[in-house]
Amino acid sequence: MQTINKNGISEITTSQFGEDIIVNYLIKLLKNNNIINDVTYIDIGACDPVRNNNTVRFYEQNLLNTHMTSKSILIEANPYQYERCKEIRPNDIVLNAVIVDQGFENKKIPFYVFANESGLNTMSKTQAESILKELPEVFTHYDTVMVETITINEIIEKYFKDKPPVFIDLDIEGIELKILKSFNFKKCKPLIWCIETSELITEYQVGKKENDIVKFMKSKGYEVYADTYLNTIFVESKTLKTITRKVCMRKNVIDLEKIFSVKNSYSEHKSHKVINLLGMKIKIKRQIHCDKRICNNFPGGGG
């Protein structure tokens, strides 16, 4: 948990690089425009239920909503972290399983677990061996556990048959694109995705960017809203256009410093604003008072 401070006003983030703050801003826009009433989510690869977690903020918000009846889902393959998720977040449905693509469901497969509640646990033995070689000072061994498999489409069919989740957080150490390609976007279209799009070398060290995920999500009708380099936040294109239109009509400019409650130097590049947050560059797609495709047709738009 980190505190981002600006002029004595603090914003607490449980995410690694403030992703929950960005998503929370989007959730507020969706609620203010009567697009959603409640926040439901699927957290795939939840790891710890609080630390470096992108959904615990919404779990806490839902606890205050006495009228909410729908549940959200945490999926965690590590048996220890699964038990911790159940203990800390009893109002969520917690599944001890590995997400796989079609054809590998309803089986048990080996899952390689590192010590110290690591977020580097993986279903790839090759990757596990590579981590040992690259980080001998951090890890001396890994444990192998057998874990049930399930597909993301099975989860949707069982828990979200009538209404899709608002938000899906996807962090499964390198197989995100494979899982996305197996997802039935025609049947279910969540409004927001937060997807790990960079290789995670250690807890706070990232490697190469997986640009194919961005291309794929755009082909499925999503736009990049924000990028913390480790994770990319996508919003369904029509929804993003709707909420940014309404903001334009209210002549309301998004102030990124208010979103993050931190003073940052930034440079503007066409339709994007780049800011520096917690030492990482975060790219926000800026469609307010600068994106002529959206604003020109509305009073006070453009410019």
Domain positions in the chain are 2-295
Among 170, 154, 151, 292, residue whose Cα is nearest residue 234: 170
* Three-state secondary-structure class, residue 251: coil
- Predicted confidence at residue 201, as pLDDT, reads 62
Tens-place pLDDT, residues 192-232: 999 999 876 665 566 788 899 999 999 999 999 999 988 99
- Predicted confidence at residue 222, as pLDDT, reads 98
Res. 282 pLDDT band, cuts 50 70 90: very low
- Predicted confidence at residue 280, as pLDDT, reads 37
pTM over 0.85: no
Tens-place pLDDT, residues 121-150: 888 888 888 888 888 888 888 999 999 999
Give whichever of 83-97, 125-139, 256-270 has the largest mean pLDDT.
83-97
Helix, strand, coil share of the chain (percent; to 5):
30, 30, 45
- Predicted confidence at residue 249, as pLDDT, reads 52
Which alpha helices (H) appear in 1-78, and where do they start and end? 19-32, 56-63
Looking at the domain that runs over 2-295, which CATH code has it been given? 3.40.50
Structure-model confidence comparison of residues 143 and 117, the more confident one: 143
Mean pLDDT (the chain, rounded):
79
Q: Kindly state the greatest CA–CA separation across the chain.
A: 62
Structure-model confidence comparison of residues 263 and 184, the more confident one: 184
Res. 273 pLDDT band, cuts 50 70 90: very low
